[in-house]
Amino acid sequence: MTDTKREKVVLVTGATRGIGHAIAENLADAYPLVITGRSADQLNALKKKLNDAGGKVEAIPADLTSSDEIQALVEGAIRSMGRVDCLINNAGMGIFGRVDEIQEKDFRYVLELNLLAPYLLTKAVLPDMITRKSGQVINISSVAGLNGFKGGGAYAASKFALNGFTESLREDVKEFGIAVTAVCPGGVRTEFGGSPAAVRDFVLEPEDVAHTVRYLVDESETANTKLIELKPRRRPDFR
């Protein structure tokens, strides 16, 4: 890990698998990390792997639908690493169904994890960033935050709202030199939705999203990429 980058502490949510796991793996050679998710075993396995390879990684399990656990997570991150310079709101989930069929509790749950949790995490890290006049928030949204789709009433609503939150947050904090970005990937080959996604002609790898996020974390202190829509290219084996 280079000394200059060792200064920037990154908190990655949803790091136990999928996109968040790939983001942590990509960043660990250059940045101190706090990784989180609910599954302590998976978090600790990733922490060990990355630390054995020379990283500086702390794991703090948390359920992000609990505001108390979010508060404890941010306090724990600051206690162990000194501060949070970059928050990556990646944890998220989808429950799909026609609007008249989707359960109210499921609709609420999707909003709670995909929208409320990023808001509460941002709120918890922001005062310190404002004091230091530096920081970064990266929200992993989706193409479903730009286009509605059949069965996406809850999920697309949460991601459109996350994009609106991201836009407004950037206006709130740009005077303090804090960068705010939405990343909107198309389909990614993860266990999102409950089972591993099949390889198909157009699908991103989690590492593709991690590569894009790395670009943002590396971005200079005078630039702020606003939104990235990341589409898959037709895979070589299907061309």
As annotated, the active-site residues are 155
Sign (positive or negative) of CA dihedral 183, 198, 233, 209: positive
- We find the least distance from the C-beta atom of residue 25 to ligand NAP, in angstroms, to be 13
- We find the least distance from the C-beta atom of residue 12 to ligand NAP, in angstroms, to be 9
Contact 165, 210 (CB under 8 A): no
**DSSP 8-state secondary structure symbol assigned to residue 235:** P
Closer CB to ligand NAP, 32 or 185, in the complex? 185
Closer CB to ligand NAP, 9 or 15, in the complex? 15
- Report DSSP letters for 75-134, one per residue: HHHHHHHS--SEEEE-------B-TTTS-HHHHHHHHIIIIIHHHHHHHHHHHHHHHHT-
- Per-residue tokens: 181: 């970005």
Q: What does the binding site for ligand NAP look like in residue numbers (CB under 6 A)?
A: 14-20, 37-39, 42, 63-65, 90-93, 113, 140, 142, 185, 187-188, 190-192
Closer CB to ligand NAP, 14 or 32, in the complex? 14
- We find the least distance from the C-beta atom of residue 114 to ligand NAP, in angstroms, to be 6
